[in-house]
Structures are given as C-alpha cells and as structure tokens.
C-alpha cells in the first residue's frame, strides 16, 4: 500500500487522539456527529453552490469547506471528513441518488463476482483528495492540533442499504437474504470488508489520524446474527487496519447494540466505542470504561431543545465520566433544526472546569 502520508503536512495529535490513547483531561474532548450540516447557515450556502449532495461530497474544495465550517465557528477538538457512508456502494458500481425528502435511493445490487477494486479507488479519488485538502487547510488556518476523523459505514449497515436499496425501519429484505441465502450475503460482506479496509487505509494515508466505523443499523439484529454480521466483519477491518496503521485509533459505533456493547468491544478490537442515546452513562462507566475509552451520548433532541435541561444532562454525562478517557458527543447525529446557539452553549458547558 502506498505511503502517501509522508508527503502530507505534519500535524500535532490533539485532545481526541490523546484521549483515545488513554490520556485523561480535566474537561473532555468534544466533537459531534454531523457537526457539519444543515443546522449551519454557512453549510446551506455551500450546499446551494454544489448543485447536489453527491457533488458536494465529490468536490474536494467544497467538502473541505463544509468540514472546516464548524471548526472555525466552534473550535471542536476534531474535524470529521464531510462525505457519506454510501459512497462505498456507489464506488462499487451501485447507482445512488439522494431524492429530495426521500433519502438515499439505490439501484440494483451490482454483480458480486466482478467487482473491480482498481475502479473502486478511481471512483473514490475525490474523497481521498478531500482528506488531503482538509488536513492541509486545518494546518493553514491554525488548527494543526485539531484531529481529523476519517470514516466508513460498517459492512452490515452498508449491506442494509445495498440490499433494501433505501432506508428502512427494519431492513427486512437484507435480514431475509442473510437468513435464506447466506453464501451470497457472506460474499457481499466479504467484499465490503475488503473495500472498507482499503478505503479507510487510504484516508489515513492522506491525513486522517482517527477513524470511526458507523454501524447505524446494528441494533436491528438478534444476538447470534449481531455476532455474525456486526462483530465478525468489524473485527476483520480492525485487524486489517492495525496491520498497516497500528498507531491509528479506531472508534466503533454499533448503534443499538444494547447489552452486546461489551462483547462488541472485546471481540472487535476497536480502540474506543461510541454510545447511542439509549445507553445509560452509568452502565457504560461501569462496564465499558474498564475496557476502552468511550464516546457519547447526549440526546440530539436535548441539544435541539437547549436551555436548563441541556445544561443538566450535559453535567450528568460529564460527572459520570469525570477523570476517565472520555469523549463528549451525541448519541446520534445532530438534527438539522438545532439552533446553532445551542451548540455554542453545549461547548461552553462541556469546557467549563
């Protein structure tokens, strides 16, 4: 694998990276899932220039711009690449479009016996260039100690979209395929493990110094299938990345894992785990923090509501994880209707000693 990183601008490791390596701070590192997005007026202006959501993702200068907007406004401890988890199925040859008010719409599942990984990386070259551009721009604008998170969807979650071809409450088509045609489904997951592993490695080579794997639909599976389609494929990706980039921390986010969170951490080998909104902080502090750093998990609607309840819930989370390797975040992505001033209030509260 080419070592492109040696030609990239050097950056200091920041508070997020150090927390993932086990260091504790008086106040936690903070970033928010979907921190670059529709709640910010500057994002909406840039989005209008792009023409379409995919054009925004695939235009490095624009993807860099929206990635940096919340860093300039709020000074988060980490930037996260602006892209979408569905760029991976798109690069594998599946048609993808984002219909207004209908979410992602995907075409027929591409043939699984003729995947061209050389074309896969050509298709994703704008994303790789965006990572390089973001890292260089962070350094140029005085944010050299701001960590840069690269990411991908996990195999199970990507397979859900690829088989069902759109969002769903239960992803019934995918779950039935996994039960009735396991060899074909296993082939799809194996392709995704390979694609995601190299995709994330390229992001690291271009300047990402932290990785997050989003398994947004892990919670729809019963325990035995969770182990087969969430834990096992994620473990393979983590192992692949550790072999080539052993110093890069990996955050796993198996949304809805419930009481399988600890097994997920133990068996996948992730560096840290992201908590969803339904995970009680006291449970995570008792059962997960002895295993690894944790990240999460303020309710996004509490952030949207703001006010005294936002302060109260923020304080509960902070006090529960005080003195531990902990990263403040939401339990899911920030909602588009969140007032920007509520985010500023949150950051002030988190950073208050």
How many Å apart are CA 305 and CA 129, to the nearest integer? 37
Residue 46: pLDDT above 50? yes
Q: At what angle do helices 232-244 and 182-206 cross, to 10 degrees?
A: 30
What digits encode the pLDDT tens for the residues 243-298?
999 999 999 999 999 999 999 999 999 999 999 999 999 999 999 999 999 999 99
How is the chain split into domains, by residue range?
A: 4-351
Question: Is 128 among the residues known to form the active site?
Answer: no
Q: Are 35 and 69 in contact (CB under 8 A)?
A: no
CATH architecture of 4-351: Alpha-Beta Barrel (3.20)
How many Å apart are CA 327 and CA 177, to the nearest integer? 37
Q: What is the pLDDT of residue 112?
A: 87
* Angle at CA of residue 345, ends 342 and 346, nearest 5°: 90
What lies within 8 Å, CB to CB, of 140 at 6+ separation is none
Residue 9: pLDDT above 90? no
- Mean pLDDT confidence for 205-221: 98
Closest CA to 112 of 174, 171, 178, 189: 189
Question: Is 47 among the residues known to form the active site?
Answer: yes
- Mean pLDDT confidence for 222-231: 98
Q: Using a pLDDT cut of 90, give the percent of the chain over it.
A: 90
Question: Is 227 among the residues known to form the active site?
Answer: no
Lowest-pLDDT range of 134-138, 166-170, 180-184? 166-170
Instruction: Single out the catalytic residue among 34, 165, 206, 349.
Output: 34
Instruction: Single out the catalytic residue among 74, 161, 261, 264.
Output: 161
How many Å apart are CA 182 and CA 105, to the nearest integer? 24
How many Å apart are CA 137 and CA 122, to the nearest integer? 23
Question: Is 161 among the residues known to form the active site?
Answer: yes
How far, in Å, are 3, 126, 142, 276, 282 from residue 120 at the CA level? 19, 12, 34, 31, 43
Lowest-pLDDT range of 64-73, 95-104, 233-242, 340-349? 95-104
How far, in Å, are 3, 4, 43, 138, 194 from residue 87 at the CA level? 23, 21, 20, 24, 15
How many Å apart are CA 230 and CA 223, to the nearest integer? 10
Instruction: Single out the catalytic residue among 17, 39, 43, 47.
Output: 47
Question: Is 84 among the residues known to form the active site?
Answer: yes
Q: What is the pLDDT of residue 118?
A: 87
Instruction: Single out the catalytic residue among 5, 38, 73, 351.
Output: 38
Q: What is the pLDDT of residue 11?
A: 53
Instruction: Single out the catalytic residue among 77, 84, 147, 215.
Output: 84
């Amino acid at each position: 694998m080419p070592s492109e990183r040696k030609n990239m601008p050097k950056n200091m490791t920041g508070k997020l990276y150090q927390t993932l390596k086990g260091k504790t701070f008086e106040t936690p590192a903070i970033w928010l899932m979907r921190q670059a997005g529709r709640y910010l007026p500057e994002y909406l202006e840039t989005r209008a220039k792009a023409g379409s959501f995919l054009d925004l993702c695939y235009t490095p200068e624009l993807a860099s711009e929206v990635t940096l907007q919340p860093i300039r406004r709020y000074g988060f401890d980490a930037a996260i690449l602006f892209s979408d988890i569905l760029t991976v199925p798109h690069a594998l040859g599946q048609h993808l479009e984002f219909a207004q008010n209908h979410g992602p719409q995907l075409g027929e599942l591409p043939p699984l016996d003729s995947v061209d990984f050389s074309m896969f990386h050509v298709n994703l070259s704008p994303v790789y260039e965006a990572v390089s551009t973001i890292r260089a721009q962070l350094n140029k604008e005085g944010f050299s100690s701001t960590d840069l998170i690269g990411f991908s969807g996990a195999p199970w979650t990507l397979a859900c979209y690829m088989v069902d071809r759109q969002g769903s409450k239960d992803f019934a088509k995918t779950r039935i395929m996994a039960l009735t045609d396991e060899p074909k489904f296993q082939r799809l997951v194996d392709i995704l493990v390979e694609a995601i592993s190299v995709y994330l490695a390229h992001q690291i080579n271009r300047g990402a110094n932290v990785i997050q794997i989003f398994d947004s639909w892990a919670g729809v599976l019963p325990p035995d299938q969770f182990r087969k389609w969430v834990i096992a494929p994620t473990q393979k990706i983590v192992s692949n990345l550790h072999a080539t980039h052993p110093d890069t921390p990996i955050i796993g986010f198996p949304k809805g894992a419930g009481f399988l969170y600890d097994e997920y951490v133990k068996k996948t080998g992730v560096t840290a785990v992201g908590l969803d909104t339904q995970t009680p902080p006291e449970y995570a502090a008792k059962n997960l923090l002895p295993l690894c750093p944790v990240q999460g998990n303020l309710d996004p609607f509490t952030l949207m509501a703001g006010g005294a309840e936002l302060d109260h819930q923020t304080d509960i989370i902070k006090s529960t994880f005080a003195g531990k390797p902990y990263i403040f975040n939401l339990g899911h992505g920030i909602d588009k209707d969140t007032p920007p001033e509520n985010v500023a209030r949150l950051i002030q509260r988190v950073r208050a000693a």
